Amino acid sequence: MNDDADYDVVIVGAGVNGALSAKRLTRAGLRVLVLEAGPDTAWTFDGYTRHVSHFYANSTKNAESAWPPAANAPQPDTADVRSGDGYFVQQGPNPFASSYTRLLGGSTLHWLGVSLRMLPEDFELRTRYGVGRDWPLGYADLEPYYRQAEREIGVSADVADQAHLGIDFPEGYDYPMRRIPPSYSDRVLAAAIDGMEVALGEEQFALQVRNYPAARNSMPRGDYQPVGAVDERTDGQALARDLGQRCAGNTACTPICPIQAKYNAGKSLAQAENRNLRVIPQAVASRILVDPVSGMVRGVEYQRYEHPGSPRHTVHTATARAYVLAAHAVENAKLLLASGLSGGSGQVGKGLMDHPALYAWGLSPTSVGAFRGPLSTAGIDDLRGGSFRASHAAFRFDIGNDGWRATTGAPDSSVASAVTGHQLFGPRLRTHLEESLPRQVRFSVAVEQLPSAANNVSIDPRYVDPLGNPRPVINYHLDDYTLAGMAAATDVYRQVFRRAGIEDRSDPEEASWMPSVSYDGSVFHYHGMGHFAGTHVMGSSAETSVVDADQRSWEHRNLFVLGSGSFPTMGTSNPTLTMAALTLRTSERLIKELAG
Amino acid sequence: MTVNEDRTRPARSPGGSDDRTDRFLVVSVALTGFGRVELLGTGLTDTYLRAIDAVLPDGVLDELLEAVGEIPVGADHETDVESILADPKLGPVARNIILMWFCGTWTRLPDTWRTAYGVSPLDADRVVSAQAYQGGLQWVAAGAHPAGARQQGFGAWSLPPEPAAQSETRAAAQSETRAGRR
């Protein structure tokens, strides 16, 4: 499309929500402009591969290690949590320990790919358990869009594994691809613990190692075609698209799948109707312009920079009939606040949530074949729901396939400990590593967090980035509901380890630094799962929420604010699938209105 | 090159002095427990020699390589490597060589060492190169593959891991240590 095009919709952000919207809207004949704050280096396969090399050579291997920030579109980095001097202005009392990526493709470039649906009870926490808040829509409303989302982002799973805890599927439905084969580690652990019972409050739960849905390509069902790598070149060639149509076990979903067998938002953007789409990278939306009388949005001001290293930029305004913010829970809230659109409810930026998570790690009595396969292929899901939620948080265990990498930095840290700690060398060193590395087991324990007015994103003119845009100021605190959930989760993982004969090696002294919090005589070291939510909450009234169930702003009716920022509560599922489903639902309504 | 030709040739190493490279391999075999062929197979011997030379003061590596020549053949050589590892000057360097082969990284030397023997701006925690990361012997020891590279193929992770060949390797490493000596 040419520069002077008259757009139907301006979308801010080329992550999963922006890309899915762009695909749906352009295919419905609507003319769409996408503004992406970061560079589009992942848009060609060669560019993407340079990110893979960057990861190889980086001395840290965290979620950000493949994705260096552009100075003009800065992003949080988990390496900055300890010092507190990163992009986030951390005001505590607890550090917010998650990050996201501002590039074309967004945080799906480094996500794990876990695509669990939320539980029916997650949508009505207030009604059922007297905590949190209810959603303005329920599981049944979202179910058809979950199916669409599972096809759009390419989820591999078997309904036979997933139909539990009230999650139901229509007769005859199954996921577009068969489940990712369970790891050998999953099979060893399942043999040891499946069927074991644990008590939470008055209830007994039988635990099971359960394969989970993942947006990683597997064996297709029916006519489904797995979508391979993104390779959008100016010469029209797309040589790499045949790559990545099957997961090949690179054991690096986070931070980067080298063959793009894992979904990233570039895949959806590449499927948009090109004639109706214009994407401008390195274009930071800085202000939403609103008609003071009607409240309607009349434009988005953005700053276009040529060179990621220089703050030189030009200012433009993009106009359209409707506007979609899909810039991330934090960036959406920040942009609304920077535009003076804090709303009548006062809820913009309020109720920030994450899944604060604990690690548990140990040595299995026999080899589990660690360091092979997708980073995680199964979990223990049985404690995601139950009446205990009236008193403490629900939680979920991810079972890692990458040894202690996430916790201690293994295998490097295991080698260093053997060489400098135990003074091993030569054949005895090699034997020690051969015998111990394949036995490393790691759980991540994702704990639910409820919305609280004390947890929020705000802006402060004292804190700005190189283009003069506000940096997010974060207030964050883990309340007793979450901490009691952490205590219960700790008790359960210890029972699981005992049953499986796993020697508990969860020693924070041996682990990479993580923020800590005390509760009832225990100290929990937590990390963030990157699951930001709640900053532009949806609800059934303009008095208590920012957007309605269609993610449409109550006050600015041609403005839609997409993403996990709309979630009233989070449950225990990774948010991407649910936000994709919400985005598809919103897109359907937008198309009906604008193209109808 | 045919297999026969290969057998008739003495082991040659890429770049630099063959004698020095050989000595580096001999010490590396003793330090890592991996055989000469396995180490050469990483393709990183020269890279590592260059990286060490760039960071250490002149003569330190050669001092270490000379010390290897004094290691007697046979069952007792561990004691002699232990004496190198216990040496305040050579020990930290030898441990860094082990970490380099296993992890593809250079590890900043201890402050006491830097004070006593010299400081280089290159003496910082870092990955030697993208290739070195992928060639780390830790992945071989784990019976796995470097994360993000050398994928094993769809579903391979579901199979039991192959048992480590440690006993054979140990014997091979010892015989190669002998063969590599002059």
Q: What is the pLDDT of residues A434-472, one digit of tens each?
A: 999 999 999 999 999 999 989 999 999 999 999 999 999
Phi-psi region of A251 (alpha: psi -120 to 50; beta: other; left: phi over 0): left
Query: Which among B98, B103, B137 has CB closest to A425?
Result: B98
Q: Is A214 helix (H, G, I), strand (E, B) or coil?
A: strand
Interface touch A373/B156, C-beta < 8 Å? yes
pLDDT of residue B8: 36
Instruction: Give CA–CA dist A61/B103, Å, rounded.
Output: 13
Q: How far is B16 from chain A (nearest CA, A)?
A: 25
Note the residue count of chain B. Answer: 182
Q: State the Cα angle at A52 between A465 and A47, rounded to 5°.
A: 70
- Residue of chain A whose alpha carbon sits nearest to that of B110: A420
Interface touch B127/A56, C-beta < 8 Å? yes
Q: What is the mean pLDDT of residues B157-171?
A: 69
Chain A CB contacts of B144 below 8 Å: 251, 369-372, 437-438
Chain B CB contacts of A428 below 8 Å: 33, 78
Q: How far is B178 from chain A (nearest CA, A)?
A: 14
Q: Cβ(B146)–Cβ(B133) under 8 Å?
A: yes
pLDDT of residue B165: 58
pLDDT of residue B68: 74
Q: Is B122 helix (H, G, I), strand (E, B) or coil?
A: coil
Query: Which among A181, A371, A427 has CB closest to B144?
Result: A371
Query: Which among A55, A249, A402 has CB closest to B152?
Result: A249
- Ranges of chain A with pLDDT below 50: 1-4
pLDDT of residue B70: 59
Q: Using CB atoms and an 8 Å cut-off, which of residues 400-419 of chain A contact chain B?
A: 401-403, 405, 411-412, 414-416, 419
pLDDT of residue B2: 38
Q: Does B83 touch chain A (CB under 8 A)?
A: no
Interface touch A250/B151, C-beta < 8 Å? yes
Q: What element of type H or E holds A269? A: helix A265-270
Would the CA dihedral through B55, B56, B57, B62 be positive or negative? negative
State the pLDDT confidence band at B181, using cuts at 50, 70 and 90: very low
Chain B CB contacts of A433 below 8 Å: 102, 138, 141-142
Q: Using CB atoms and an 8 Å cut-off, which of residues 173-192 of chain A contact chain B?
A: 181-184, 187
Buried b (16+ CB within 10 A) or exposed e, A38-67: bbbbbbbbebbbebbbbbbbbebbbbbbbb
Q: Which residues does residue A445 pair with via DSSP β-bridges, in sequence order?
A: A358, A397
pLDDT of residue A297: 98
Query: Which among A52, A183, A438 has CB closest to B143?
Result: A438
Q: How far is B4 from chain A (nearest CA, A)?
A: 30
Q: Cβ(B21)–Cβ(B46) under 8 Å?
A: yes
pLDDT top residue among B174 and A32: A32
Q: Does B95 touch chain A (CB under 8 A)?
A: yes
Count CA within 13 A, CB hemisphere, residue A258. Answer: 20
pLDDT of residue B123: 97
State the pLDDT confidence band at B5, using cuts at 50, 70 and 90: very low
Chain B CB contacts of A411 below 8 Å: 102-103, 136, 138-139, 141-142
Q: Using CB atoms and an 8 Å cut-off, which of residues 26-45 of chain B contact chain A?
A: 30-34
One DSSP character per residue, A106-148 reads GGGGT---B-PPPPGGGGBHHHHHSSS-B-SS-HHHHHHHHHH
Interface touch B78/A426, C-beta < 8 Å? yes
Instruction: Give CA–CA dist A572/A139, Å, rounded.
Output: 15
Rounded to whole angstroms, what are the CA distances from B127 to A173, A300, A572, B106, B108?
48, 43, 36, 6, 11
Q: How far is A224 from chain B (nearest CA, A)?
A: 18
Instruction: Enter the ipTM.
Output: 0.94
- Residue of chain A whose alpha carbon sits nearest to that of B177: A426
**Interface with chain B: mutation pick from A178, A256, A425, A437, highest number of B CBs within 10 Å:** A425
Rg of chain B's alpha carbons, rounded to an integer? 17
Give this prediction's pTM: 0.94
pLDDT at B15 over 80: no
pLDDT at B175 over 60: no
pLDDT at B137 over 70: yes
Query: Which among B107, B148, B152 has CB closest to A372?
Result: B152
Q: Which residues does residue A162 pair with via DSSP β-bridges, in sequence order?
A: none
Chain A CB contacts of B148 below 8 Å: 52, 55-56, 250-252, 256, 258
